[in-house]
Amino acid sequence: MGYFTRDATLCQSKVFRDAIRRQKLLTFNTSPDVTDVTQWEACEHWLPHALVCATWIEHAPMTEPEATRLLTTAGVYLLDHVRYSEAERLLVRALAICEQQLGANHPSTATSLNNLATLYDDQGKYAQAEPLFQRALAIREQQLGATHPDTAMSLNNLAHLYQDQGKYAKAEPLFQRALAIREQQLGATHPTTATSLNNLAALYSVQGKYAKAEPLYQRALAIREQQLGATHPTTATSLNSLAVLYYYQGKYAEAEPLYQRALAICERVLGRDHPLTRTVHNNKACLPKRRSWKRIFDLFSR
């Protein structure tokens, strides 16, 4: 009888412990917006608690929607901060829960596939990323429709993957489809439309098609300045992209003020050690000194 009582007490203790953990999971699911850089300081305070909850989710195991949401939110934040190994563990678990609880063809499963594929793509693990991006696209086309904004996101991400591998002919029609969907569904001045403009411009730029790239970069920058603000990190991305385009054409006088604006934004908002800040700094450092511009311009004019 004593053994039964002890076992029952242990069982009740475990149930109580799991109940407390689930309550805390609900509490910490009320997270800052991890996609908003102005909230990243709050995110840093939230993250350690979220990682403790992630451990509970793995060992309990917990499969509630709140569990998936927390794993995804924390995983995406870690991905954005280049903490790939930590992000992978959370995003893999989030995908497993989605597939188990919602099914292999659910739109939320497509989102998890997309997040994990993005993680691999960012690390250059293209063979691992491609089938995940393709699965996500197929689910979204089937479940949401060919012109849904989420379908456009999958088209865009798969196109990025092909561009990263130099498969430009495969990337271009996907970028163009994504842009057309976003202009139609979200509007010509939506920030996500600006992302598509920027991506298509980058594809043309890397192929040396500068005349096709420039107006797209300029449109993207104008939208971001208007919709997000002149000091938003995404605006800095557009400034850097347009500056790089001018640099490639030897238009150093046009490139320099764009680099300066982009760098000032990045240092103030993201910090000196952020990858984007370092990229802009290195790009700006590649500009020739002013005294050598005239000689370079003369060479270009011959």
The reply to whether 216 falls in a domain is: yes
Average model confidence (pLDDT) across the chain: 87
**Across 72-88, average pLDDT:** 92
Query: What is the pLDDT at residue 59?
Result: 78
pTM over 0.85: no
The reply to whether 40 falls in a domain is: no
Model confidence at 116, pLDDT cuts 50, 70, 90, reads very high
| Domain hosting residue 275, numbered range | 186-290+297-302
The share of the chain scoring above pLDDT 90, in percent, equals 68
Model confidence at 126, pLDDT cuts 50, 70, 90, reads very high
d(CA 46, CA 25): 12
Q: Are 98 and 108 in contact (CB under 8 A)?
A: yes
Q: Are 90 and 98 in contact (CB under 8 A)?
A: no
The reply to whether 222 falls in a domain is: yes
The reply to whether 143 falls in a domain is: no
Query: What is the pLDDT at residue 27?
Result: 55
Cis, peptide link before residue 275, omega less than 30° from 0 = no
User: For the chain, what is the domain count?
Assistant: 1
The reply to whether 17 falls in a domain is: no
The share of the chain scoring above pLDDT 70, in percent, equals 85
> CATH number of the domain that 232 lies in?
1.25.40.10
The reply to whether 219 falls in a domain is: yes
Identify which has the larger pLDDT, 121 or 288: 121
Model confidence at 28, pLDDT cuts 50, 70, 90, reads low
The reply to whether 95 falls in a domain is: no
Query: What is the pLDDT at residue 117?
Result: 98
Per DSSP, the residues of 37-62 read GGGHHHHHHHHHHHHHHHHHHHHTT-
The reply to whether 101 falls in a domain is: no
The predicted-structure confidence for 196-236, as pLDDT tens digits, reads as follows 999 999 999 999 999 999 999 999 999 999 999 999 999 99
d(CA 158, CA 146): 15
